[in-house]
Amino acid sequence: MTESSVPVQGDAGEPFSGEPIRVLVVDDHALFRRGLQMVLEQEPDIDVIGEASDGSEAVTAATEMLPDIVLMDVRMPKRGGIDACTVIHEVVPSAKIIMLTISDEEADLYEAIKAGAMGYLLKEISIEEVAAAIRAVHGGQSLISPSMASKLLNEFATMIKKTDDRQQVPTPRLTDREMEVLKLVAKGMNNRDIAKQLFISENTVKNHIRNILEKLQLHSRMEAVVYAVREKLLEIT
């Protein structure tokens, strides 16, 4: 996986101590769910607490089990993953959602981000890499498969063209420091790395990110990445 990585808990032969990351797996293919579970069960810091075969089951399971991470397909029968993502994001805001899908459609990517997903990964990645993605998102990063990143620009271009004739709402004013933090968030850096880069504390970084999201009326770091690209603060190639 080529996205920015974070230190992997339990690596280097060190025994894992602490609460494991609680994961809910959602996919309409039973064999894929089982394969994910078998691989993730080998990770000492990850606990697969349940599974679901469609979006409706996912909402129910997430509400009852309160997972840390929801791994979810986009297109499923009865209720799709994006719709389920919206609901889970509202009823279990502590759960971070990673869309794991075969869909490389720009519209699905953008709708997933708007729904609150913090990751959008294609199933072309090796199944072993999923654990690294879980840790990264649990640690506060946002992940997009490299092959999907450039598609964001196409979606933004379409959005901008559609809104050219509409009355534009003034962009909320961010401070210089908030702009610096936003650019680093958009590069996939976690709070610790941002703090080191800017020589400030992690709590200060958290406060800046909270202020940024409030000012821009966004709900997640992933949406902040989208905003940064749209406003040409960051170019993805």
Q: Which residue has the tokens 């976690």?
A: 190
Is it the case that residue 195 has pLDDT exceeding 60?
yes
Three-state DSSP at 71 gives strand
DSSP 42: T
In the chain, what is the straight-line distance between the N-terminal and C-terminal CA atoms, in Å? 16
List pLDDT tens digits, range 98-151: 999 888 887 788 888 888 898 888 888 887 789 999 998 998 887 877 667 666
List pLDDT tens digits, range 154-164: 555 555 555 55
The predicted model scores a pTM of: 0.65
Given phi > 0 = left and psi -120 to 50 = alpha, else beta, which region is 201?
Answer: beta
For residue 124, the model assigns a pLDDT of 84
Mean pLDDT of 181-190: 80
For residue 14, the model assigns a pLDDT of 44
Three-state DSSP at 41 gives coil
- CA 72: distance to chain centroid? 11
Domains of the chain: 21-146 (3.40.50.2300), 169-230 (1.10.10.10)
